[in-house]
Amino acid sequence: MRLDLWLWAVRAYKTRPLAVAAIHNGRVHILGLPTKPSHTVRPGEIITLRLDTDVTLWTRTLRVIDTPKSRVGAKLVPQFAEDLTAPEELEKSRLRPGAISGFRPRGTGRPTKRERRALDDIIEST
């Protein structure tokens, strides 16, 4: 089974085009080496994905157990992929925008002009 199809089938990416784009952008490695979408996935291979969420960039590591016939339900994913992701990386994936400075608490309304300028100064300084 092709790598892009396998990543889509085990729900690492929502769509095949997203999986292909990630592979072309060098965000998917097999055994530490960049790869192509047409790579044939074999049991035992370790695949590393760099996933970009709204808040942070984090790394997910999967071991290929088997190849499904087609896209599988979330409950069946452990039959085809073992998640080897480090706990620190899982914490990064769970961050919410409220945990990052510069985001306003829910229900406080829009920032004033003065607050926007202060936020812009913080963003420019980093």
Token pair recorded at residue 74: 């979330």
Per-residue pLDDT band for 28 (boundaries 50, 70, 90) equals very high
- The string of DSSP codes covering 43-57 is TT-EEEEEEE-SS-E
Q: Is the pTM of this model over 0.85?
A: no
Tell me the β-bridge partners of 37. none
CATH code linked to domain 3-95:
3.10.290.10
Closest CA to 79 of 10, 4, 1: 10
Q: What is the mean pLDDT of the chain?
A: 87
Instruction: Report how far residue 97's alpha carbon sits from residue 41's, in angstroms, rounded to the nearest whole number.
Output: 35
Give the Cβ contact number of residue 111 at 10 Å: 12
Per-residue pLDDT band for 116 (boundaries 50, 70, 90) equals confident
What are the residue ranges of CATH 3.10.290.10 in the chain? 3-95
Tell me which amino acid residue 79 is: Q
